[in-house]
């Protein structure tokens, strides 16, 4: 646009001279010979600079200057006069004139004056613009403060979100607005709040991800979306307008993002009094969305926390009921278990007394057959009694873990740490599934029935053994042991056992070096030796064995070897396992089994092992010599 300068002076020559100078400065000059003509020209041309002579034929320059001042335009007037005086200069400047120049004018003075007045006018215009922006910003801040007060209040999300949406619509001049929140499964946007002519209808709707729409585009891209004409935008979903009866012309949508995760969209529809929403509207709506983001997230977390608390309370009630019921059952089970354990201890004690009596009487053949039968018949029920008790202990440990996790979750929920509650609930579910606690109820009855049946069987066997050997008096104290004699006697015992069982078995060959006298319980030693010589080292019945004993390095070694053993290496490793029979055949052992012998060897301060080599299978017993026996027995005790 051309810059315009108005020259009001009755001197035509002066007007021409000034017009030439101003034209050289880039102005289009409008001239006026009278005051009234100058006022009319000012209204018609809206000049940037006005040169005003104080002496005019119709109106005085002071009067015209006062009229300009009344309009707030005196600052663009440069007063010129040939009758210069200090009083006239002060009067014009007090009236607000931009400058005062005496005639005749010099080009340099005019140029400097015009530049000074133009610069001052630009500064005034910039100041007015900044003041307008400041007033607008203050208004914006007041609105934002009101919105912040709403979103940070103690009211529920449902209460303040509707009011905030209405405030934003009024503030930005929108006909309608809505707050859409992402569902938990992330597949729908629900109209949480909606204002405008069809707000009540819109609040009942949701937007599936599969149908798309401007709101989904805004959410998925994570950036604002401004649609000036929805008819030209393929992203616009007309389903909402059809269902609500509302007509959408333009849309402004901004995502609500917490961290890097979008949780919803705030959307404005139809700018009032304008073709579409502007950039300023977008900037202000983004500020509102940023203010609402944390509050919306907190409200959603609070809602989830409330649901979690309710779920946790329900789980706690169910758990307390189950724990109380299970505790009663376990208390009863513990009482029965303790009773069974006491009976088992008594039976075991009677069994040991009966075994010691049999050993003292040297009933070789009867001890071999009876010992094998007793070991097998007792170890079978004793094994599953022990296994059932361990199963019950496992259930108890699992219930304690579950109780600890849920109590911890309850404390966190009470303290308000919602983000840590859901992992604990999931941990409780995982424990129930992992430990199979749901099946524990069905397992309890059969487990106790099996324990009772096993104890009954053991009691009957022990009672028979007691009757068979009631004349003996078992002794468990250490006493001098002639190991060579015991080895030879046990070798004869093993051979006799083979004959009693009807097997064609050669006598055990012995190679015994001179051995020291040992001090240990004689009955336990005999049981270990019987277990070694009577061990089943072949898959199909016993075979010839050899026995060798010697002293070396303060230790006594007893080795039983079967050169024809057909056991594999993995079967050798299982020889000391309870109830294990190589090849799945019948028990041919003449003693109480290698598993019992292994424990007795440890009680004597020694060690029992088995190995395969080029010469067959060897079972080796290591016992401390006389000088080391007391220390070894004390360590075992």
Confidence bin at 466 (pLDDT 50/70/90): very low
State the Cα–Cα distance between residues 337 and 334, nearest whole angstrom. Answer: 5
| pLDDT higher at 552 or 564 | 552
Token reading at 543? 């075979």
Mean pLDDT of the chain: 79
**How much of the chain is in helix, strand and coil states, percent to nearest 5?**
60, 15, 25
Record the pTM.
Answer: 0.36
Report the residue count for the chain.
637
Residue bearing tokens 């093993």? 494
Token reading at 131? 């003041």
Note the pLDDT tens digit of each residue in 565-589. 888 888 888 888 776 777 665 544 4
- pLDDT of 470: 38
What does DSSP say about strands 251-258 and 546-552: parallel, antiparallel, or unpaired?
A: unpaired
CB-facing half-sphere around the CA of 352: CA atoms within 13 A: 13
State the Cα–Cα distance between residues 277 and 271, nearest whole angstrom. Answer: 6
Note the pLDDT tens digit of each residue in 125-136. 888 888 877 776
| pLDDT higher at 409 or 552 | 552
Query: Is it the case that residue 461 has pLDDT exceeding 80?
Result: no
- pLDDT of 374: 54
Token reading at 19? 């017009």
Contact at 8 Å (CB) between 409 and 424? yes
Contact at 8 Å (CB) between 421 and 409? yes
State the Cα–Cα distance between residues 332 and 334, nearest whole angstrom. Answer: 5
Note the pLDDT tens digit of each residue in 70-107. 888 888 888 888 877 787 888 888 888 888 888 888 88
- pLDDT of 608: 92
- pLDDT of 623: 92
């Amino acid at each position: 646009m051309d810059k315009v300068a108005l020259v009001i002076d009755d001197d035509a020559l002066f007007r021409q001279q000034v017009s030439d100078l101003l034209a050289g400065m880039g102005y289009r000059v409008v001239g006026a010979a009278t005051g009234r003509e100058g006022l009319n020209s000012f209204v018609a041309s809206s000049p940037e600079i006005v040169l005003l002579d104080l002496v005019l034929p119709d109106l005085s320059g002071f009067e015209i200057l006062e009229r300009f001042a009344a309009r707030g335009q005196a600052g663009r007037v440069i007063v010129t006069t040939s009758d210069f005086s200090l009083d006239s200069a002060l009067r014009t400047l007090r009236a607000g004139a931009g400058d005062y120049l005496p005639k005749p004018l010099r080009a340099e003075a005019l140029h400097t004056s015009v530049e000074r007045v133009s610069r001052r006018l630009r500064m005034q215009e910039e100041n007015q613009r900044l003041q307008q922006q400041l007033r607008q910003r203050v208004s914006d801040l007041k609105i934002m403060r009101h919105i912040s007060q709403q979103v940070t209040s103690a009211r529920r999300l449902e209460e303040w979100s509707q009011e905030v949406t209405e405030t934003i619509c009024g503030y930005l001049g929108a006909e309608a607005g809505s707050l859409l929140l992402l569902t938990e499964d992330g597949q729908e946007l629900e109209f949480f709040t909606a204002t405008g002519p069809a707000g009540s209808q819109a609040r009942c709707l949701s937007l599936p991800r599969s149908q798309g729409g401007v709101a989904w585009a805004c959410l998925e891209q994570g950036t604002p979306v401004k649609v000036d004409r929805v008819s030209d935008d393929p992203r616009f979903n007309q389903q909402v307008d059809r269902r609500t009866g509302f007509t959408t012309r333009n849309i402004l949508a901004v995502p609500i993002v917490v961290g890097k995760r979008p949780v919803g969209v705030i959307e404005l529809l139809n700018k009032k009094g304008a073709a579409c929403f502007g950039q300023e509207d977008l900037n202000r709506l983004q500020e509102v969305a940023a203010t609402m983001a944390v509050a919306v997230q907190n409200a959603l977390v609070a809602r989830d926390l409330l649901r979690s608390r309710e779920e946790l309370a329900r789980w706690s009630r169910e758990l307390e009921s189950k724990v109380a019921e299970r505790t009663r059952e376990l208390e009863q089970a513990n009482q029965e278990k303790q009773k069974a354990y006491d009976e088992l201890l008594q039976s075991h004690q009677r069994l040991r007394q009966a075994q010691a009596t049999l050993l003292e009487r040297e009933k070789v053949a009867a001890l071999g057959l009876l010992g094998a039968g007793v070991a097998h018949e007792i170890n079978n029920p004793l094994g599953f009694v022990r296994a059932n008790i361990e199963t019950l202990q496992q259930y108890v440990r699992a219930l304690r873990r579950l109780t600890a996790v849920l109590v911890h979750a309850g404390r966190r929920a009470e303290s308000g740490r919602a983000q840590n509650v859901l992992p604990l609930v999931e941990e409780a579910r995982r424990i129930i599934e992992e430990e199979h606690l749901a099946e524990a109820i069905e397992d309890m009855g059969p487990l106790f029935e099996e324990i009772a049946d096993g104890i009954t069987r053991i009691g009957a066997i022990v009672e028979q053994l007691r009757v068979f050997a009631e004349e003996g008096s078992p002794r468990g104290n250490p006493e001098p042991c002639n190991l060579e004699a015991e080895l030879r006697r046990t070798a004869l015992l093993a051979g006799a056992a083979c004959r009693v069982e009807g097997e064609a078995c050669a006598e055990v060959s012995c190679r015994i070096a001179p051995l020291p006298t040992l001090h240990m319980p004689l009955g336990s030693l005999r049981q270990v030796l019987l277990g070694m010589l009577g061990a089943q080292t072949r898959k199909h019945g016993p075979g010839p064995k050899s026995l060798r004993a010697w002293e070396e390095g303060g230790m006594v070694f007893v080795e039983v070897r079967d050169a024809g053993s057909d056991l594999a290496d993995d079967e050798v490793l299982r020889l000391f396992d309870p109830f294990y029979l190589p090849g799945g055949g019948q028990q041919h052992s003449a003693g109480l089994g290698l598993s019992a012998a292994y424990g007795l060897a440890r009680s004597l301060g020694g060690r029992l092992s088995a190995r395969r080599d080029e010469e067959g299978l060897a079972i080796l017993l290591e016992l401390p010599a006389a000088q080391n026996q007391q220390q070894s027995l004390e360590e075992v005790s």
